[in-house]
Amino acid sequence: MAEPKIKYDRQLRIWGEQGQAALEKASICLLNCGPTGSETLKNLVLGGVGSITVIDGSKVDAGDLGNNFMVDESSVGQSKAKCVCAFLQELNDAVKAKFIEEYPESLIETNPSFFSQFTLVVATQLGEDSMLKLDRICREANVMLIFARSYGLTGFVRISVKEHTVVESKPDHFLDDLRLNNPWPELRRFAESIDLDVQDTVAHKHTPYVVILVKMADKWAKSHGGSLPSTREEKKEFKDLLKASMVAADEDNYREAIEASFKVFAPRGISSDLQQILNDNRAEVDSNSSDFWVMVAALKEFIANEGSGEAPLEGSIPDMTSSTELYVNLQNIFQAKAEADCLVIEQRVRYILKKIGKDPNSISKTTVKSFCRNARKLRVCRYRSIEDEFNSPILPELQKYLTDEDYSVAVGFYILLRAVDRFAANYNSFPGQFHGGMDEDISRLKTTAVGLLSDLGCNGSTLTEDLINEMCRFGASQLHAVAAFIGGIASQEVIKLITRQFVPMSGTFIFNGIDHKSQLLCL
Amino acid sequence: MADTEAQPSRSRDLDKLLLRPGNLVGANFDPGEELRDDLAKSAKVLVVGAGGLGCELLKDLALSGFQNLEVIDMDRIEVTNLNRQFLFRFEDVGKPKAEVAAKRVMERVSGVNIKPHYGRIEDKEIDFYSDFIIIALGLDSIEARSYINAVACSFLEYDCDDNAREETIKPMVDGGTEGFKGHARVILPGVTPCFECTIWLFPPQVKFPLCTLAETPRTAAHCIEYAHLIKWDEVHSGKAFDPDDPEHMKWVYNEAVKRAELFGIPGVTYSLTQGVVKNIIPAIASTNAIISAACALETLKLASGCSKTLSNYLTYNGAEGLHTKVTEFVRDKDCLVCGPGVLIELETSITLQKFIGLLEEHPKLLLSKASVTHQGNNLYMQAPPVLEEMTRSNLSLPLFDLMGKTTKTTLHVTGTTSKNDKKTSVLRKLRVVFKGVDGVTDMDTAGGA
Ligand SMILES: [Zn+2]
């Protein structure tokens, strides 16, 4: 059946067949299906996740009709989990949808092993106490976890995973891997085989800039004791030499060469980001190591040996002005080198696997190939546990946020979102949740927030009256548009985590629905 | 906990925002039940586009206290919409988007009335758009945005100090997405930059030079565009290529494969062929949800004043981590669209026909095939034929007489202009002043020139 493929066409163009396969294998658990949770799942069901399990113990009431699209008048009085689940199923029959009518808080309390069956848990609208417990459970069971909450015109999204490694990080702007500052023998020989002094003007303007730059860099190095341009004057001189080599004003290839000459000046070797990954303790592998770290170990050896300080070649080249023949030849030279590098890494991977007592063929050739192609773009994301963040936030960061004008509203909301849970624990309702008593709630919330700040080690810090007022005005409401925004962000992050493509957010995203100056806080 | 509100109402959550006073709110915020009821009963919002953003917008607005919505879209539902346009099901494929979207939202949210319009935005009378307090845009084309922007700006009037008159401001909320990225913005014509003021944010798509396609193809896309733009015309003399005809697409694909083999170029696939030929922009549910939610929230805030508004451009990028940024763009004081209008000085004797010819030559306008309206009166209409016939006799009359001998007035003209080698329909506002008539001095015309 070709139909599902057509249906997913617009997203396959983003995360490909592999990303889609990962989504279709994933099982997602949703805790609480108010608008925030329902909207999160809606986006995932449309994209075709494997299965969803909706957990909510409440019944639909009239208030829910005003902010949740997944319930309607016929749902009033019925299980919210059941109604939401039924609507979600209607969106995509390829998804296995089920529900459990139970309060998440009690499930967390009584049946912690329940969560180990899932790929990922989306926990919405949970209080601090349940968040702490669930985080412990999911970390123990190696289940990915995302918290999301909307509250009036604010809310947050927080990923909690011990470690998330990404091969296909797909950055937007990343310098291509042309090795113009360090060409390997075959590339150099290819460049040498082309004569730029030909009288043929058509050939001259169809020589790719890669060839022009390799030759010019070579010439430069010969007259500069083997080194490449490094000072501002030298760089200018190098560009002037390129300009002087043009035989006509309309030579796009030379224009491209001048624009790309910074690639000749770039330092050789790997980036500090990649170096940091190579230096990670996890790169010392044993039988418990994941495939990712086994491949990092092989990469480390490659860079120290065959690579002479460079990562394996990526193998692709951007489009550039060129004759078809030279371009295709150049492409073949890059591809051959990439394949050779990959083969060396593959051998090292097999050897390491054997050494640590694993099946040497347990990592496929395709996986190694993709790893090599993306070696310069590897990413490792780690998230502090909720317990660590709540009990001992990174104090210098917190103090910086509290005094930085750009962060003041976001950090204010962060403190208040935690303060309302303390408030609720003390007074059995959220500030401003019910009609009347607003002034008392405002002063109580203020006291609670100041107490929280001092518990966090920020004695003397205060929040603005305006923000405390607003928080009480919100009265724990869930506005549909805010929930759709927060749920949208949460589902986006779920997709990145499950497909293992792109880079998930770091820290806690605090939504500022007043003027949209939202922030990520790394505490 | 004296009052536990045993019987929650549908507006339980929204009431917190609409009934309670606040400190971080809009200047004219007047909280109370009246505000909530006004929003429900008399605030009419138009959603332009019923695609990825439009479906979300309709749902979000229907659940944000608005009960009178209209939606306009010229497209029919396709299978590739189903991964994000959540109001559509497989059995809806082929039906008009606006109609199905309106029906689905009304089925689920009681009390909401949504009027669908299946058709082109250019085919509606300008007056149609004046009826809405806010226009929310869920579009994927620059041309369509430009058009609606010009329409909304055409309602704008300036006072004698060249300040926008508040009651004539037609706010727009605009969203756009591509993959994991998107933007949401608030446009208050005359106050914040209009779409045209910041048109540089949308650079035109770069096309491959024809000589590359014909002589030195290097990539799979070059082979595809050769088949699509050159070979097709060579083989099918006169027959237009239809990107929605699968036979046509397959032909282009096969030709592209042949050419790629000839030159030793890898990578031509059917999916890439479709992507290149139709310029497909990848789209997913989550980004559409995020951007639409931001737009709907701003619509609610603009209509009610219940909080501050976005000032004025939000970008979201979720590809590498998560980045949101608010930028306060400034107006282009010389903007032809949201400014006070191009000033034209005329002799009282000039005929409507001559005037239309003048618009074609005017360096700031270059407007051909113009239709002219004055305060809702059609002076001359190029189409439809019935109207053309009815207004044709005006062509030989003096414009001054046609406009009731007002010496200084505002005209609206629509027509086509060329932009990046592409003909687009535009709407322009003109300030017309007649020379040598009592009451007009040099002082009057100097200000806005
Ligand atoms: Zn403008």
**In angstroms, how far is the first alpha carbon of chain B from the final one?**
65
B47 shares its domain with B113: yes
- Residue B447 has what pLDDT? 37
Q: In chain B, how many domains are there? A: 3
Instruction: Answer yes or no: do B318 and A502 touch at CB < 8 A.
Output: yes
Q: In chain A, how many domains are there? A: 4
Pick from B327, B361, B394: which residue ends a domain?
B327
pLDDT in tens, chain B (449 residues): 334 445 678 999 999 999 999 999 999 999 999 999 999 999 999 999 999 999 999 999 999 999 999 999 999 999 999 999 999 999 999 999 999 999 999 999 999 999 999 999 999 999 999 999 999 999 999 999 999 999 999 999 888 778 899 999 999 999 999 999 999 999 999 999 999 999 989 887 788 999 999 999 999 999 999 999 999 999 998 899 999 899 999 999 999 999 999 999 999 999 999 999 999 999 999 999 999 999 999 999 999 999 999 999 999 999 999 999 999 999 998 888 998 888 889 998 899 999 999 999 888 888 889 999 888 788 999 988 888 998 999 999 999 999 888 888 888 888 888 876 678 888 888 888 888 776 544 444 433 33
* Residue B293 maps to a domain: yes
Pick from A240, A265, A290: which residue ends a domain?
A265
DSSP labels, B223-237: HHHIIIIIIHHHHST
* Residue A95 maps to a domain: yes
The yes-or-no verdict on residue A252 having pLDDT over 70 is yes
A251 shares its domain with A121: no
Query: Looking at the complex, does the CB of residue B208 fall below 8 Å from at least one CB of chain A?
Result: no
Yes or no: say if B402 and B394 are a contact pair by the CB < 8 Å rule: yes
- Residue A317: C-alpha distances to residues A210, A214, A330, A331 (Å): 9, 14, 8, 7
B50 shares its domain with B144: yes
A22 shares its domain with A131: yes
Yes or no: say if A386 and A331 are a contact pair by the CB < 8 Å rule: no
List of chain B residues whose C-beta atoms are within 8 Å of the C-beta of residue A320:
218
Residue B354 structural domain: 342-411+426-434
Pick among A46, A151, A325, A407 to test the B interface (most B CBs inside 10 A) = A46
Instruction: Answer yes or no: do B84 and A487 touch at CB < 8 A.
Output: no
Residue A252 structural domain: 185-265
List of chain B residues whose C-beta atoms are within 8 Å of the C-beta of residue A518:
324
Q: What is the pLDDT of residues A448-475, one digit of tens each?
A: 999 999 999 998 888 999 999 999 999 9
* Residue A252 maps to a domain: yes
- Residue A158 has what pLDDT? 98
Residue of A nearest to B183 (CA): A516
* Residue B421 maps to a domain: no
Instruction: Answer yes or no: do A518 and B324 touch at CB < 8 A.
Output: yes
Pick from A329, A349, A381: which residue ends a domain?
A381
The yes-or-no verdict on residue A40 having pLDDT over 80 is yes
Measured distance CA(B371)–CA(B384) in Å, rounded: 11
A236 shares its domain with A129: no
Whether cis (ω within 30° of 0) applies to the bond prior to A431 is no
A258 shares its domain with A286: no
Tokens of B133: 């307090």
| Interfacial A residues in 118-147 facing B (CB < 8 Å) | none
Instruction: Answer yes or no: do A481 and B322 touch at CB < 8 A.
Output: no
In A56-107, which ranges are E strands? 96-100
B295 shares its domain with B235: no
Pick from A208, A236, A265: which residue ends a domain?
A265
- Residue B3 has what pLDDT? 42
CATH of the domain at A51: 3.40.50.720
CATH of the domain at B249: 1.10.10.520
A293 shares its domain with A260: no
A12 shares its domain with A148: yes
Tokens of A447: 């006291």
The yes-or-no verdict on residue A370 having pLDDT over 60 is yes
- Residue B308 has what pLDDT? 96
Query: Looking at the complex, does the CB of residue A481 fall below 8 Å from at least one CB of chain B?
Result: yes
Query: Looking at the complex, does the CB of residue A509 fall below 8 Å from at least one CB of chain B?
Result: yes
| Interfacial B residues in 214-243 facing A (CB < 8 Å) | 216-219
B134 shares its domain with B39: yes
* Residue A174 maps to a domain: no
Q: Can you tell me the mean pLDDT for A406-416?
A: 96
Q: Which of B115, B113, B106, B121 is nearest to B73 (CA)?
A: B121
B298 shares its domain with B183: yes
The yes-or-no verdict on residue A255 having pLDDT over 80 is yes
Query: Looking at the complex, does the CB of residue A253 fall below 8 Å from at least one CB of chain B?
Result: no
Single-letter amino acid code for the residue at B208: F
| Interfacial B residues in 312-331 facing A (CB < 8 Å) | 314, 317-322, 324, 326
Name the CA dihedral angle for A136, A137, A143, A148, rounded to a multiple of 10 degrees.
-70
Measured distance CA(B203)–CA(B201) in Å, rounded: 6
Measured distance CA(A486)–CA(A123) in Å, rounded: 12
List of chain A residues whose C-beta atoms are within 8 Å of the C-beta of residue B180:
14, 492, 502
Q: Is A55 exposed, middle or buried (0-12, 13-18, 19+ CB in 10 A)?
A: buried
Instruction: Answer yes or no: do B289 and A487 touch at CB < 8 A.
Output: yes
B359 shares its domain with B430: yes
B222 shares its domain with B304: no
Query: Looking at the complex, does the CB of residue A522 fall below 8 Å from at least one CB of chain B?
Result: no
Those residues whose C-beta lies under 8 Å from the C-beta of residue B250, and which sit 6 or more positions away, are B270
List of chain B residues whose C-beta atoms are within 8 Å of the C-beta of residue A440:
none
Q: Mean pLDDT across chain A, nearest whole number?
A: 95
Residue of B nearest to A516 (CA): B310
* Residue A294 maps to a domain: yes
CATH of the domain at B196: 3.40.50.720
* Residue A173 maps to a domain: no
* Residue B103 maps to a domain: yes
B268 shares its domain with B182: no
Query: Looking at the complex, does the CB of residue B207 fall below 8 Å from at least one CB of chain A?
Result: no
Q: Which of B63, B123, B73 is nearest to B101 (CA)?
A: B73
- Residue B161 has what pLDDT? 78
A256 shares its domain with A292: no
* Residue B449 maps to a domain: no
Tell me the sheet residues that pair with A99. A54
A367 shares its domain with A401: no
* Residue A323 maps to a domain: yes
Q: Can you tell me the mean pLDDT for A200-214?
A: 93
Closest residue to B11, CB basis, from A11, A12, A66: A66
* Residue B117 maps to a domain: yes
If one counts every other C-beta atom within 10 angstroms of the C-beta of residue A130, the result is 21
Over its C-alpha atoms, chain B yields an Rg (Å, rounded) of 25
Closest residue to B218, CB basis, from A8, A324, A485: A324
- Residue B162 has what pLDDT? 80
* CA of A109 relative to ligand 1 center, distance in Å: 58
Instruction: Answer yes or no: do A65 and B10 touch at CB < 8 A.
Output: yes
Pick among B7, B10, B16 to test the A interface (most A CBs inside 10 A) = B16
Phi, psi dihedral angles at A45 (to 5 degrees)? -65, -40
Q: Can you tell me the mean pLDDT for A379-392?
A: 96
Instruction: Answer yes or no: do A516 and B310 touch at CB < 8 A.
Output: yes
* CA of B337 relative to ligand 1 center, distance in Å: 5
* CA of B172 relative to ligand 1 center, distance in Å: 13
What is the ipTM for the molecules in this complex? 0.96
Residue of B nearest to A329 (CA): B264
Tell me the whole-structure pTM to 2 decimals. Answer: 0.92
pLDDT band for A4, please (50, 70, 90 cuts).
low
A315 shares its domain with A364: yes
Instruction: Say if strands A154-160 and B368-374 run parallel, antiparallel, or are unpaired.
Output: unpaired
Query: Looking at the complex, does the CB of residue B289 fall below 8 Å from at least one CB of chain A?
Result: yes
- Residue B439 has what pLDDT? 52
List of chain B residues whose C-beta atoms are within 8 Å of the C-beta of residue A465:
23
B92 shares its domain with B190: yes
Single-letter amino acid code for the residue at B30: D
- Residue A262 has what pLDDT? 96
* Residue B392 maps to a domain: yes
- Tokens 């590359």, residue located: B212
CATH of the domain at B350: 3.10.290.20
Tokens of B422: 């592409």
| Interfacial A residues in 406-465 facing B (CB < 8 Å) | 428-429, 432, 434-438, 465
B215 shares its domain with B346: no
| Interfacial A residues in 152-191 facing B (CB < 8 Å) | 152-153, 169-172
* Residue B442 maps to a domain: no
* Residue A290 maps to a domain: yes
Q: Is A70 helix (H, G, I), strand (E, B) or coil?
A: coil
* CA of B187 relative to ligand 1 center, distance in Å: 9
List of chain A residues whose C-beta atoms are within 8 Å of the C-beta of residue B80:
6-7, 9-10
B119 shares its domain with B196: yes
Size of interface A-B (CB pairs under 8 A): 251
* Residue A171 maps to a domain: no
A14 shares its domain with A156: yes
Active site residues per annotation of B = 211
Q: Can you tell me the mean pLDDT for A6-30?
A: 95
List of chain A residues whose C-beta atoms are within 8 Å of the C-beta of residue B83:
7-11, 46-48
Pick among B15, B63, B225 to test the A interface (most A CBs inside 10 A) = B63
B100 shares its domain with B241: no
Query: Looking at the complex, does the CB of residue B110 fall below 8 Å from at least one CB of chain A?
Result: yes
A155 shares its domain with A44: yes
**In angstroms, how far is the first alpha carbon of chain A from the final one?**
48
Tokens of A294: 């086994």
A445 shares its domain with A358: no
Neighbours of ion ligand 1 (CB under 5 A): B 194, 196-197, 335, 337-338
* Residue B47 maps to a domain: yes
